[in-house]
């Protein structure tokens, strides 16, 4: 027999911890013990209580027994939320160094020839260029010299010098230019020619692999010994196509329409291919074509179309 006072105390404690136990024993009188039943016999049932410990209850005090499988506590599962991934911007290459106005130079030389018992032919091309650039202007001075002989007789002697000053406008593709030229050709009627031109320019395409610049200006040329002044326009185009890290293709065109005689004009066109022979790109092999046309010349007074094909080495320093 269980003391009624003990049963009341047990019942109160059991009610406080009811949710913590799986099995329950209902006593005669209505009290309930909750815990885990560990053993049973014909005379008694033993239950482990969380607070009172192990209690043995006589069968004649039990009204009913309910055994419930112990369920594992359900732990709420938090939804998986993808953590934000910081997306870093792609590394930006450092901007190119601002031009400091220092000079760069180029020398190019090409020679070819043949000789046998009957004939001998020799030709040479030498070229040079000096260039400087700052944030406000660009200066380019270039020169070319062609010389050719056949059986010891001079057949070509041509010099072309060009000075170009370009004024750059910050934040704009527009620019302005002033250009001066000098040319000597022993096999033309005019022999020597100087010219001066000025006007605007526009960088239509910038960067790599393609860069294209257009120029348009007005000026005049002077030929001597004929002492002839000719007002002219200058329409120019400079194209640079970077094929890869070692090679590039250049194209240049300058057209000089006559302002006094419409339909008369002259032009100088060229195409050059360069390929670097060293890692520093300071030594290059070059091959090119230059074509000079002059609509003024009569067939009997000179050659109206002068094409020169050349190859050689270029050194940049």
Query: Considering 66, 93, 117, which residue would you say is the last residue of a domain?
Result: 66
Query: Considering 45, 66, 87, which residue would you say is the last residue of a domain?
Result: 66
- Evaluate whether residue 88 is within a structural domain: no
- Evaluate whether residue 73 is within a structural domain: no
Q: Is the pTM of this model over 0.85?
A: no
> Could you read off the pLDDT tens digit of each residue along the chain, which spans 317 residues?
445 544 444 454 444 444 444 688 888 878 888 888 888 888 888 888 777 788 888 888 888 888 776 555 555 656 666 666 556 576 777 777 788 889 999 999 998 887 777 788 899 999 999 999 999 999 999 999 999 998 889 999 999 999 999 999 999 999 999 999 999 998 887 889 999 999 999 999 998 899 999 999 999 999 988 788 999 999 999 999 999 999 999 999 999 999 999 889 999 999 999 999 999 999 999 999 999 998 876 655 555 788 999 999 999 99
- Evaluate whether residue 89 is within a structural domain: no
Residues facing 270 on adjacent strands: 252, 290
Question: 229: number of CA atoms within 13 Å, CB side?
Answer: 4
- Please tell me whether residues 131 and 50 are part of one structural domain: no
- Evaluate whether residue 119 is within a structural domain: yes
What CATH number corresponds to the domain at position 43? 2.30.30.100
- Evaluate whether residue 84 is within a structural domain: no
- Evaluate whether residue 309 is within a structural domain: yes
- Please tell me whether residues 113 and 251 are part of one structural domain: yes
In terms of Cβ atoms closer than 10 Å to its own Cβ (0-12, 13-18, 19+), residue 169 is: exposed
**Cα distance between residue 104 and residue 128, in whole Å:** 11
Indicate the number of domains in the chain: 2
What CATH number corresponds to the domain at position 225? 2.40.160.40
* Residue-range definition of the domain harbouring residue 292: 103-316
- Evaluate whether residue 29 is within a structural domain: yes
- Please tell me whether residues 33 and 162 are part of one structural domain: no
- Evaluate whether residue 93 is within a structural domain: no
């Amino acid at each position: 027999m269980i003391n009624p006072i003990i049963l009341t105390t047990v019942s109160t404690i059991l009610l406080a911890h009811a949710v913590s136990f799986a099995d329950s024993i209902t006593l005669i009188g209505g009290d309930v013990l909750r815990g885990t039943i560990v053993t049973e016999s014909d005379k008694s049932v033993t239950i482990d209580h969380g607070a009172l410990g192990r209690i043995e209850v006589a069968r004649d005090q039990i009204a009913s027994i309910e055994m419930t499988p112990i369920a594992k506590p359900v732990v709420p599962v938090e939804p998986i939320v993808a953590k934000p991934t910081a997306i870093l911007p792609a590394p930006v290459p450092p901007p190119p160094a601002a031009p400091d106005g220092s000079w760069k130079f180029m020398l190019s030389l090409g020679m070819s020839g043949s000789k046998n018992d009957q004939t001998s032919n020799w030709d040479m091309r030498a070229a040079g260029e000096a260039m400087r650039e700052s944030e406000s202007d660009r200066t380019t001075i270039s020169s070319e010299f062609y010389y050719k002989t056949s059986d010891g007789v001079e057949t070509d002697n041509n010099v072309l010098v060009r000075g170009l000053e370009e004024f750059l406008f910050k934040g704009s593709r527009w620019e302005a230019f002033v250009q001066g030229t000098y040319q000597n050709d022993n096999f033309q009627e005019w022999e020597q020619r100087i010219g001066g031109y000025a006007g605007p320019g526009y960088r239509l395409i910038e960067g790599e692999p393609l860069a294209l610049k257009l120029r348009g200006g007005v000026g005049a040329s002077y030929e001597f010994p004929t002492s002839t002044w000719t007002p002219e326009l200058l329409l120019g185009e400079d194209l640079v196509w970077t094929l890869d890290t070692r090679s590039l293709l250049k194209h240049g065109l300058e057209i000089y329409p006559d302002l006094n005689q419409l339909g008369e004009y002259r032009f100088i066109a060229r195409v050059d291919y360069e390929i670097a022979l060293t890692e520093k790109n300071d030594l290059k092999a070059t091959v090119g074509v230059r074509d000079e046309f002059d609509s003024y010349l009569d067939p009997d007074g000179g050659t109206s179309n002068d094409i020169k094909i050349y190859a050689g080495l270029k050194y940049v320093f």
